[in-house]
Amino acid sequence: MATLLVAGGAGFIGSHFIDRLIARGDQVICVDDLSTGTREHTEMHADQPRYRFVEADVCDGGIEAAVRGSGSMRFDAVVHLASPASPPAYLARPIETLEVGSRGTHNLLEIARLDSARFLLASTSEVYGDPLVHPQVETYTGNVNPIGERSVYDEAKRFAEAITMAYARTYGLDVRIARIFNTYGPRMRADDGRVVTNFVYQALAGDPLTIFGDGSQTRSFCYVDDEVAGLLALLGGDEPGPVNIGNPHEVTIRAFAELVIELTNSRSTIEFCELPADDPHLRQPDITLAREALGWEPLVTLRDGLQRTIAAYRTSSLG
């Protein structure tokens, strides 16, 4: 049994990740400021004896004392999943997003350093920006506009990778970096603003599905159970990364919209809107490294994962 600090554990991926840790008997301290995380995602673990929730911002100077608590708890691993992650969420919180990637990462790295703990950074496919190399391999340096609107997220995550590697080089910290690609599943916020939630809720309501651009842009969606299994394989293995953790099955947004309409038996139509600035046209992980170094690959098809997601959304506002 290990003791883990999970920052952002009340978020979509964080809450599924903690499910798995608890199921295998780990002790989990979850820290989240609930700015985009959801109180229900921490309350559902509240009866677990090996779970403690700390409502705090990882950017705060007092974060170390807050997460250690009165028992001065020490951690075997620090997992940094904290950040607004959908474009509407981070564009609404530009300075906070830059802060959690920089100061928040720094604060969490310090805790890991003091405890000689393993540190896992959740980075993102957004470090590749609007990629000119396809599919994206980890050595690709990306096409991010540092002064674009989305740079508040992209550059924050690139900075987070840089400071994580600086801690590895300077202090010998044992680090892991995951580059998470689009992930979907139950418990995404209805107001998340990402395409999966938008489409599913629009289809369930019978509203038109809104496509930004002409729908020819592609995405590769990873079911959350697969994503979490990849993160756990990275955390438990020897490969420091960065490792792409995502599903390489690529689909156009238009085909995806049509699949959602089919699986929901919806009467919804499709509407086309203007594409936002710096929206990536193509996004598909090369997961050769994850397959070879972690023995991991996604197992859930888009059709299966979407059916599970739709079923969850039908029965609960949070899925």
The alpha carbon torsion through 307, 309, 313, 319 (nearest 10 deg) reads 150
Give the H or E element holding residue 250. Answer: strand 250-252
Cβ proximity to a copy of itself, 254 vs 283, nearer residue: 283
* Token output for 61: 């100077």
Applying the rule CB under 8 A, the residues between 160 and 199 that interact with a copy of itself are 161-163, 165-167, 169-170, 177
Q: CA quadruple 68, 70, 74, 77: dihedral positive or negative?
A: negative
Q: Going by C-beta distance under 8 Å and a sequence separation of 6 or more, which residues neighbour residue 246?
A: 125, 179, 180, 181, 182, 183, 220, 222, 227, 285, 287, 298
Instruction: Compute the least distance from the CB of residue 170 to a copy of itself, in Å.
Output: 6
Cβ proximity to a copy of itself, 158 vs 219, nearer residue: 158
Instruction: Give the type of residue at 204.
Output: L
Cβ proximity to a copy of itself, 142 vs 213, nearer residue: 142
Cβ proximity to a copy of itself, 20 vs 106, nearer residue: 106
Q: Which residue has the tokens 């559902």?
A: 44
- Exactly one of 3, 48, 102, 210 binds a copy of itself (CB under 8 A); which one? 102
Q: Is 242 in the site for a copy of itself (CB under 8 A)?
A: yes
Applying the rule CB under 8 A, the residues between 103 and 162 that interact with a copy of itself are 103, 106, 127, 129, 141-147, 149, 151-152, 154-156, 158-159, 161-162
Q: Which amino acids are annotated catalytic?
A: 153
Q: How far apart are CA 76 and CA 132, in angstroms?
A: 39
Q: Which residues bind a copy of itself (CB under 8 A)?
A: 61, 94-95, 98-99, 102-103, 106, 127, 129, 141-147, 149, 151-152, 154-156, 158-159, 161-163, 165-167, 169-170, 177, 242
